[in-house]
């Protein structure tokens, strides 16, 4: 069974750094793109970027380029999303999604990681 | 800014048919890229209900159907049921952005 398991909820202060994770199981992790999606409270889905774990080929949405870093460690079947300096506006639910291709559909989603940034 | 536009809300009585439009442009749907649809129930992760324009994953009722034409796509729900109340999003690929794009989302209400 394909599963994506994300790290737990985080509460951080503005200016702090953070790295959240998404671990895949039940499939060949290196062979599928992992996409990160943001959902701010009460708002819609926003594509942030994706990575191919086989070679860490990464593409960012222009809206998120320079704001976050997406990485992966195929040896432990895990993708990451990180911030160097959080802002209150980063408060959101973050999902990882498995894609067969960059324009492909996402049949498998992580359960989501809620990030709350507040002073 | 979502580049795929959807109506904010649609509603219908139980048993009725509702449709949700997803309007794109020549750099995404109009360029021939596939459209996928997701259902998001409150407090849960989105669930894929239509892939590659009109295909249903195993387990998705045939009350859900999708179509695509030129720069737009649509999702139809027939025989509307109370548990269809959810937010629905379309998704495609945009070659100008070199990445995925989601629709603005539509809330379906069962009257």
Q: What is the model's pLDDT at position B2?
A: 75
From A2-6, B86-90, B98-102, the region with the lowest mean pLDDT: B98-102
Q: What is the model's pLDDT at position A10?
A: 98
| Chain A residues within 8 A of B92 when measuring between CB atoms | 103
Q: How many CA atoms lie within 13 A of B74 on its CB side?
A: 11
Query: Is residue A44 within 8 angstroms of chain B, CB to CB?
Result: yes
| Chain A residues within 8 A of B46 when measuring between CB atoms | 45, 95, 106, 109
Å between A65 CA and nearest CA of chain B: 12
The predicted model gives B71-92 an average pLDDT of: 97
- Closest residue in chain B to residue A113, using alpha carbons only: B45
Residue A69 main-chain phi, psi, to 5 deg: -125, 130
Q: How far is the C-alpha of A119 from the C-alpha of A88, rounded, in Å? A: 8
Residue carrying structure tokens 């394909």: A2
pLDDT range class, residue B6, cuts 50, 70, 90:
very high
Q: What is the model's pLDDT at position B1?
A: 61
CB contact under 8 A, B2 and A44: yes
Q: What is the model's pLDDT at position B19?
A: 98
The predicted model gives B43-69 an average pLDDT of: 96
Q: What is the model's pLDDT at position B41?
A: 96
Name, in order, each residue with C-beta under 8 angstroms of A42's C-beta and a sequence gap of 6 or more.
none
The predicted model gives B69-83 an average pLDDT of: 96
Å between A63 CA and nearest CA of chain B: 9
Q: What is the model's pLDDT at position A102?
A: 80
Q: How far is the C-alpha of A43 from the C-alpha of A45, rounded, in Å? A: 7
CB contact under 8 A, A107 and B57: yes
What are the average pLDDT values for consecutive 10-residue runs of chain A, which has 119 residues? 97 98 96 96 96 95 96 97 98 96 90 97
């Amino acid at each position: 069974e394909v599963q994506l398991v994300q790290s737990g909820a985080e509460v951080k202060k503005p200016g702090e750094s953070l790295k959240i994770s998404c671990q895949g199981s039940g499939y060949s992790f290196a062979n599928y793109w992992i996409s990160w999606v943001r959902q701010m409270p009460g708002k819609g889905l926003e594509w942030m970027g994706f990575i191919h774990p086989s070679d860490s080929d990464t593409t960012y949405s222009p809206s998120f380029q320079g704001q976050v870093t997406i990485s992966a460690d195929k040896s432990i079947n895990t993708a990451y999303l990180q911030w160097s300096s959080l802002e209150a506006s980063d408060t959101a639910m973050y999902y990882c999604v498995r894609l067969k291709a960059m324009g492909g559909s996402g049949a498998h989603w992580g359960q989501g990681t809620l990030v709350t940034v507040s002073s | 800014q979502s580049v795929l536009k959807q109506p904010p809300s649609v509603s219908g009585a139980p048993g009725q048919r509702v449709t949700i439009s997803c309007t794109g442009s020549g750099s995404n749907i109009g360029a021939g890229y596939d459209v996928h649809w997701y259902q998001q129930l409150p407090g849960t992760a989105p669930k894929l209900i239509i892939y590659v324009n009109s295909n249903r994953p195993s387990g998705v009722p045939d009350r859900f159907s999708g179509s695509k034409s030129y720069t737009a796509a649509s999702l139809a729900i027939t025989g509307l049921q109370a548990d269809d109340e959810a937010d629905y999003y379309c998704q495609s690929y945009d070659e100008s952005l070199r990445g995925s794009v989601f629709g603005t989302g539509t809330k379906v209400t069962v009257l």
